[in-house]
């Protein structure tokens, strides 16, 4: 039996649209056993068929390795919610690729895995930290991802998870096609300072560098609770962003008491479910039985 353990991720991190993400210490497990036919358990019925993203990612990896697609029993054990901006689709993609690699003992290296995963997801910002852990920044060069791992100071994360989904494809349709030059200049400055503050643990600069021009101004309209949470985070000098394409919002801090206070307010005043976790220091991994 092959078991793949895969972390949730928070992409964009405010200023890094499609190019920055971090792995969260919140794990899903995907178990694969040989079987005479494809069986999928542990997920809603509508996903229990060959279109399942895990199965499709396994198939794509078979094609890459020039191997026949085997049949297996896939059991998914995940409480990472769908379409909430916590990288649930990336967990499926990375799990399918790693399982196929393990099945055929192909020993793909992590960059090859990232290339296949990016091809499937369309952008590397979730799949890269899912594979490598920590925070990862990336860009695309002639269709291939280039990336750097960013070691992070000891930040804790608070995920504030509304009870409504936002499908990534829909959330991409609200984005503009052009950007003012002055906004591009502002974005570069904020992004550079964000990365440095993330590494060295400068919480004040991290909070101030959370100003985005690429997606948050457009997507916040899809999240009715954004404005009040954003306002409270600004008052508390807390870094906060729309996680992935939403609807989750993530706040991070070195000081757990600040996150506890925010969590209490968000749960009681807005009835939004919260969960705290550190940044995951490692990425997806496989074990065998």
Binding site for ligand HSE (CB under 6 A): 11-12, 17-18, 123, 125-126, 168, 171-172, 215, 244-245
Tell me if 72 is assigned to a ligand binding site: no
Give me the least distance between CB of 125 and ligand HSE, in Å please: 5
Contact string (CB under 6 A) for ligand ATP, positions 165-184, x = contact: --xx----------------
Tell me if 83 is assigned to a ligand binding site: yes
DSSP 3-state of 250: strand
Tell me if 58 is assigned to a ligand binding site: no
Give me the least distance between CB of 12 and ligand HSE, in Å please: 5
Give me the least distance between CB of 4 and ligand ATP, in Å please: 13
Nearer to ligand HSE, 52 or 126 (CB): 126
Burial class for 227, CB neighbours closer than 10 Å (0-12, 13-18, 19+): exposed
Cis, peptide link before residue 247, omega less than 30° from 0: yes
Is residue 117 within 8 A of residue 131, CB to CB? The reply is: yes
The answer for residues whose C-beta is within 8 angstroms of residue 111's C-beta and 6 or more apart is none
Is residue 65 within 8 A of residue 106, CB to CB? The reply is: yes
Tell me if 177 is assigned to a ligand binding site: no
List Cα–Cα distances, 90 to 9, 126, 262, 263, in angstroms.
Answer: 8, 6, 28, 26
Tell me if 201 is assigned to a ligand binding site: no
Is residue 203 within 8 A of residue 121, CB to CB? The reply is: no
DSSP 3-state of 232: helix
Q: By beta-carbon distance, which residue lies closest to ligand ATP? A: 244
Beta-bridge mates of residue 279: 24
Nearer to ligand HSE, 18 or 101 (CB): 18
Nearer to ligand HSE, 63 or 169 (CB): 169
Nearer to ligand ATP, 126 or 203 (CB): 126
Q: Is 118 an interacting residue with respect to ligand ATP (CB under 6 A)?
A: no
Tell me if 88 is assigned to a ligand binding site: yes
Q: What is the spatial distance between Cα 246 and Cα 92, in angstroms, rounded to a whole number? A: 18
Tell me if 138 is assigned to a ligand binding site: no
Q: Which does 19 bind (CB under 5 to 8 A by kind): ligand ATP, ligand HSE, none?
A: none
Q: Which does 78 bind (CB under 5 to 8 A by kind): ligand HSE, ligand ATP, none?
A: ligand ATP
Give me the least distance between CB of 88 and ligand ATP, in Å please: 3
Q: Which does 157 bind (CB under 5 to 8 A by kind): ligand ATP, ligand HSE, none?
A: none
- The dihedral sign for the CA sequence 122, 124, 126, 130: positive
Q: Is 197 an interacting residue with respect to ligand ATP (CB under 6 A)?
A: no
Q: What is the spatial distance between Cα 74 and Cα 278, in angstroms, rounded to a whole number? A: 28
Q: Is 244 an interacting residue with respect to ligand ATP (CB under 6 A)?
A: yes
Tell me if 81 is assigned to a ligand binding site: yes
Burial class for 36, CB neighbours closer than 10 Å (0-12, 13-18, 19+): exposed
Residues at the binding site are 81-91
- The residues binding ligand ATP (CB under 6 A) are 11, 43, 47, 52-53, 76, 78, 82-90, 92, 126, 167-168, 244-245
């Amino acid at each position: 039996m092959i078991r793949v353990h895969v972390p949730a991720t928070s992409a964009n991190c405010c200023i890094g649209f499609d190019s920055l993400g971090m792995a969260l210490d919140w794990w899903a497990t995907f178990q694969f056993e040989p079987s005479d036919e494809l069986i999928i358990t542990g997920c809603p019925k509508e996903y229990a068929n060959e279109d399942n993203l895990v199965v499709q990612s396994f198939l794509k990896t078979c094609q890459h390795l020039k191997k026949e697609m085997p049949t297996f029993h896939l059991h998914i054990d995940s409480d990472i919610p769908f379409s909430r901006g916590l990288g649930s689709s990336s967990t499926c993609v990375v799990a399918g690729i790693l399982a196929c690699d393990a099945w055929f003992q192909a020993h793909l290296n992590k960059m090859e895995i990232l290339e296949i995963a990016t091809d499937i997801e369309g952008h590397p910002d979730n799949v890269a930290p899912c594979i490598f852990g920590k925070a990862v920044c990336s860009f695309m060069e002639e269709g291939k991802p280039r990336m750097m791992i960013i070691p992070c100071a000891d930040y804790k994360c608070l995920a504030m998870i509304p009870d409504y989904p936002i499908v990534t494809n829909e959330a991409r349709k609200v984005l503009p096609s052009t950007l003012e030059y002055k906004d591009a200049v502002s974005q570069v400055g904020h992004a550079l300072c964000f990365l440095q503050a993330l590494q060295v643990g400068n919480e004040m600069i991290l909070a101030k560098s959370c100003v985005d021009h690429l997606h948050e101004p457009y997507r916040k309209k899809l999240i009715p609770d954004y404005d009040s949470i954003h306002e409270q985070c600004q008052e508390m000098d807390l870094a906060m962003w729309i996680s992935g394409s939403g609807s989750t919002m993530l706040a991070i801090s070195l000081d757990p008491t600040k996150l506890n206070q925010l969590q209490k307010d968000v749960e009681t005043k807005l009835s939004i479910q919260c969960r705290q976790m550190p940044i995951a220091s490692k990425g997806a991994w496989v074990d065998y039985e």
